[in-house]
Chain A
Amino acid sequence: MPPSSWAAARSASSVRLTQRATVYGEDIASGLYSQVLIRSLRCRLISRNTNNTGLPTFDRAEDMAGRDFWFDPTAYIPEGSQVEVDGIRWQLKAGTFQSLGDCTPPAAKMCMAVRQQVASF
């Protein structure tokens, strides 16, 4: 699913990148996302579930855990990477990366992110 239309339509300049992320790549041997690719990436996680149509009817907790991940437009993040923001891991969904704005570098970059499970709540 592409990033939500409301978010895509949001003015790029209105999103302040006030959070910081560590970007992780996969360690081939272990399969874990343990290779640090970028530290202190300027970013912002924005909830995708802000409609006013009533209660959502998702099946599981992870379906509520989708966010739009806006990040520093000068940065390059490989698709399929994970990011950690405030101690929480998020999987960046391949195929949802967008550059916004008709300029170089783009005014903003964003993609869809899904929270990763912790061992137990």
Chain B
Amino acid sequence: MADPAPFNAAAMLQYIQTLVAGLSGLQQTYIGAPESIATRVNAFVTIGDTTPRPKANQLAQRNPEVMVTFAYRVAGAEQNAELTVCSLVDELTMAVYADRTLGGTSQSAELNMGINREPAYMDIGASEVRRYVVLITGLQTASTP
């Protein structure tokens, strides 16, 4: 297992945003959930659970979650949306597994897409989008008083 990574949620979030922005076919990436989307193929990266727990004397750990939400503006093209999401998910999976330390911001990262069993559509700024969520969970360790 890699060296412990310190508590730094922003570093993990920003590393994943950079990773996602490099996916082919993606047109726009946001940190934070946008009020509206500018392009057809979008992703936004948000922070999830960061609850810490005592690990040992003067040592705490946590499994910070970063959610990557792919949002494809459907406009009647459900098939294109689904196939594009498939490609993005495959590419992101390989990118995370190529470096599970997430650039040194996590000791070991894991992926979970179990929330997507039902097809999800949502409205963003009056545009209907196909939504697919990838949950990336890291491991960070910190010394405490």
Binding site for B on A (CB under 8 A): 26, 30-33, 60-62, 65, 80, 91-94, 112-117
Residues of B within 8 A of A31 (CB): 27-28, 38-41, 73
A91–B125 touching, CB < 8 Å:
yes
B75–A26 touching, CB < 8 Å:
yes
B38–A32 touching, CB < 8 Å:
yes
Residues of A within 8 A of B28 (CB): 31
Give the docked Cα–Cα distance between A61 and B34 (Å).
Answer: 11
Known contacts A91-B126, A117-B125; 8 further A-B pairs (Cβ under 8 A):
A30-B27, A31-B41, A32-B39, A62-B36, A91-B36, A91-B125, A113-B126, A116-B35
List the B residue with the shortest CB-CB distance to A90.
B126
Binding site for A on B (CB under 8 A): 27-28, 34-36, 38-41, 73, 75, 125-128
Residues of A within 8 A of B127 (CB): 80, 91
A26–B40 touching, CB < 8 Å:
yes
A112–B34 touching, CB < 8 Å:
no
A93/B41 contact (C-beta < 8 A), A62-B36, A80-B75 known: no
List the A residue with the shortest CB-CB distance to B124.
A62
Residues of B within 8 A of A30 (CB): 27, 39
- The smallest C-beta distance from B125 to any residue of chain A, in angstroms, reads 5
A62–B35 touching, CB < 8 Å:
yes
A114–B125 touching, CB < 8 Å:
yes
- The smallest C-beta distance from A31 to any residue of chain B, in angstroms, reads 3
A116–B75 touching, CB < 8 Å:
no
List the B residue with the shortest CB-CB distance to A91.
B126
A116–B36 touching, CB < 8 Å:
yes
Give the docked Cα–Cα distance between A33 and B36 (Å).
Answer: 13
Give the docked Cα–Cα distance between A114 and B125 (Å).
Answer: 6
Residues of A within 8 A of B35 (CB): 60-62, 65, 116-117
B34–A117 touching, CB < 8 Å:
yes
| Shortest beta-carbon contacts, A-B, top 5 | A31-B39, A31-B40, A114-B126, A117-B35, A91-B126
